[in-house]
Structure 1
């Protein structure tokens, strides 16, 4: 049985979120929801999340899962807000503990910040299985962009996070803490081993030069044939050299510092301080 997939695009962060549903049982999952954040004022809002919320309610769906493909560095997660309003179980890769330890230290989050992943309801490992209604789903650990990256295969649809972009844009950067270009190459081969017709859903589309329309879906066959960084015939050493050179030229994502502080907490804001105000930190001269 194939899942019904509805895509929602946030132009501010070039992010795609998805509602993935079983048409028969009317049960669903939400993948990579976005919390709106204004870096100039420090204000958060729920415009994007409310679009997902409205769709779930209008379609008469019941939310089973909130699925994070990884700890995003380019947008804040709305998983906490949606869990409060719709229920469901929040899941991420088991290697989230590595991210929490690394960035908990960077942000001096303190002893009250748990680094064992308890902010999430399920920590998935490679090969784990679950379901969305009557549709069988499985988990692939696809690290390289970050250590905790997962791909969720739900029926014939795979939600691949930042592992690949559209074929004309290429592949994810690997220069974040714990990232590795050689590991990413192996993860891409894992995706390429899926059936050719598997629908691949992107987490972002930044528009390749010469293209003026945002896209979010490709297939294994299309990626294997046409991905500009990782198509069949590109060997591992050539890919690693390309990726390392490209990464060295990239700036840090604008929202990385606020995003990671929220996302490592499962989409929850940091706890309020003694004056009742919540704060995000900016470590100076560390990155």
Structure 2
């Protein structure tokens, strides 16, 4: 059985979103982006509308809107896609600290339609999928593995082999845990195709987003096969020294924690995002 994958690039955040579907035309969207202009505090839907246009063009039915983790570098368009096309939102666990979102804010993940557990099997139409919990970049990181097609969407757990892995110094990240998660991915066959959520090209190479388990094992400078956990953690900490925060992290987390739903308008009919002062 074949799986079809269409990628969508958001150049402002170096995010790659995906549509994946099988022969029966039922699909999942993975890591959709809601465009955000920080300087003017304006959202727009160009990236998500490109996904919608493709779904209509290919006569697809949207079943799932899947987040590989609670993103800190872009706002999620999950809620917008769900309103436009239906489908269920899904993620693993997630965070709610720092924003003081109020006693009425639900911290159990119920803003999402489904919270996947490690090893859970599910269907994307005719495609058999497995959720593999791969925390470390964030506590919520989930890899979505299409079992028969040999494809895995790994989010930020593994980036391109010449770059390394997702960072571990923000909001619950842990290099020791990330090391263990990478070993779980390395238990998959070498030929499994891995699709990452971001790319930060070194040496001015073109943007890339696909590798294999073998590529990562033998060419990843931080996470090559055989590296010890201690050495991996040292390399991660060295790479993270003086790294700037992602430019959209403060608005992104408080939107993404609600499955992409913006805060309700206040009494003046204006929607506000919170920015915690002097916390970083």
TM-score bucket (shorter structure) = over 0.9
Please list, as runs of the form range in 1=range in 2, the aligned pairs for 1:167-186 lying within 5 A after superposition: 167-186=161-180
> How much has 1:212 moved relative to structure 2?
2.4
TM-score with structure 1 length normalisation?
0.95
SS at match of 2:155: coil
Match of 2:123 among 121, 131, 135: 131
Offset of residue 156 of structure 1: 1.4
- Number of residue pairs matched? 278
Structure 1 CA distance for aligned equivalents of residues 99 and 133 of structure 2: 27
Structure 2 gap ranges (5+): none
Aligned twin of 2:251:
258
Deviations 1:54-83 (A, max 9, x none): 000100000010000000000000000000
1:223 aligns with 2:222: no
Q: Secondary structure at the match of 1:160?
A: strand
Task: Report the equivalent of 2:231.
Answer: 238
TM-aligned CA deviation for residue 233 of structure 1: 2.4
- 1:49 Cα offset (Å): 0.2
The 2-side partners of 1:259 and 1:177 are apart by 13
- Aligned pairs for 1:190-229 (under 5 A) are 190-208=184-202, 210-229=203-222
**Counterpart Cα distance in 1 of 2:62 and 2:162:** 34
Q: Secondary structure at the match of 1:51?
A: helix
Q: What are the equivalent positions in structure 2 for 1:75-90 lying under 5 Å apart?
A: 75-90=74-89
Give ranges in structure 1 of 5+ residues lacking alignment: none
Aligned-residue Cα RMSD (Å) equals: 0.9
* Residue-by-residue CA offset, 1:209-234 (whole Å, 9 max, x unaligned): x2421111010011111011101121
Q: List per-residue Cα deviations over 1:29-56 (Å, max 9, x = no partner).
A: 0000000000011110000000000000
Residue equivalent to 2:269? 276
1:245, distance to aligned residue in structure 2 (A): 2.3
1:47-66 equivalent positions in 2, closer than 5 A? 47-66=46-65
Write the mapping of 1:68-147 to structure 2, written as runs, cut at 5 A.
68-93=67-92, 95-96=93-94, 99-100=95-96, 102=97, 106-147=98-139
Q: Give the ranges of 4+ consecutive aligned residues of structure 1 lying more than 4 Å apart after TM superposition.
A: none
> 1 CA distance for matches of 2:222 and 2:143?
19
- Give the stretch that moved more between structures: 153-162 or 254-263: 153-162
